[in-house]
């Protein structure tokens, strides 16, 4: 199977619960991969939306780094807590010393009741 056309559509958040949908249809050149084309088109879509999209993606990147740092710190503290609890249990000082509580998956997962997919092609001139 040889893929000749790639249709890529992106829904980009522009803040305040607003989104902008950008779509492209491109023809694959010899040697191009779908992955590389979609990555390039994603970048073009962000440019088309403008600075607001870049600001939000930058803020998202910063928040992801902060979350990673906090998760790392929690794991370090959990390790120290568990070592201390084990010491207290082993020495008989506090035989019921609990392990550190888990702080993940505290909210119930959202369940999808219904899902639909629709496709349409817009043709200029109508």
Task: Express each pLDDT in 1-39 by its tens digit.
Answer: 677 888 888 888 777 788 888 888 888 888 888 888 888
- For residue 108, pLDDT beyond 70: no
Where do runs of H (alpha helix) occur along 1-126?
34-49, 51-90
Report if pTM > 0.75. no
pLDDT score for 14: 77
Q: Residue 89, SS3?
A: helix
pLDDT tier for residue 93 given thresholds of 50, 70 and 90? very high
Lowest mean pLDDT among 43-52, 74-83, 84-93: 43-52
Written as six digits, the tokens of 69 are 């740092």
Pairing of strands 5-15, 18-27: antiparallel
The whole-number pLDDT of residue 15 equals 74
SS3 62: helix
What percentage of the chain carries pLDDT values higher than 70?
Answer: 80
pLDDT at residue 121 in the model: 56
């Amino acid at each position: 199977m040889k893929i000749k056309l790639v249709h890529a559509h992106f829904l980009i958040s522009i803040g305040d619960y607003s989104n902008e949908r950008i779509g492209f249809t491109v023809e694959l050149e010899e040697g191009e991969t779908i992955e590389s084309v979609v990555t390039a088109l994603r970048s073009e879509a962000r440019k088309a939306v403008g600075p607001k999209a870049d600001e939000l993606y930058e803020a998202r990147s910063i928040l992801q780094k902060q979350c990673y740092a906090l998760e790392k710190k929690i794991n370090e503290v959990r390790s120290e807590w568990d070592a201390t609890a084990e010491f207290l249990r082993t020495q008989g000082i506090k035989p019921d010393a609990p392990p550190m509580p888990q702080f993940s998956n505290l909210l119930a997962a959202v369940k999808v009741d219904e899902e639909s997919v629709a496709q349409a092609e817009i043709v200029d001139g109508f």
